[in-house]
Amino acid sequence: MTEARIIYVTTKDESEAMHLAQILIDDQRIACANVFPKMTSLYRWKGEVQKDSETVLILKTVKSQVEAIIETLRKNHSYEVPCILTLPILEGDPQYLTWITQQCKEENEPS
């Protein structure tokens, strides 16, 4: 397993996804963000089945940044309980994995 991580997030729209990504890029918490607009989500919320259009935000980062990223997302997200899921990257192109690490500041560097 590598230190690289993928964080999967859903947002209300493309504008919110871009705003969250920009905050994290500016803070050097992530190496890259991919925005997938116009996804349909079907889910149960407060006892009711919901069907909504959402935007998916995929963030590429390192393990040491995950906690700070989740905190930033919670603070700036419009949802009461946002979908924020972290996935380990087991393998990948070594050069790309190195690039991810180089783009994210070290754990002990201030924001």
> At the topology level of CATH, where does 4-103 sit?
Alpha-Beta Plaits (3.30.70)
- Mean pLDDT score, 47-59: 97
Question: How big is the chain, counted in residues?
Answer: 111
- Mean pLDDT score, 49-58: 97
39: helix, strand or coil: strand
Per-residue pLDDT band for 46 (boundaries 50, 70, 90) equals: very high
* DSSP code per residue over 61-99: EEGGGHHHHHHHHHHH-SSSS--EEEEE-----HHHHHH
pLDDT digits (tens, 9 = 90+) for 8-20: 999 999 999 999 9
Mean pLDDT of the residues in the chain: 95
* pTM of the predicted protein model: 0.93
- To which H or E segment does residue 101 belong? helix 94-103
Domain ranges in the chain are 4-103
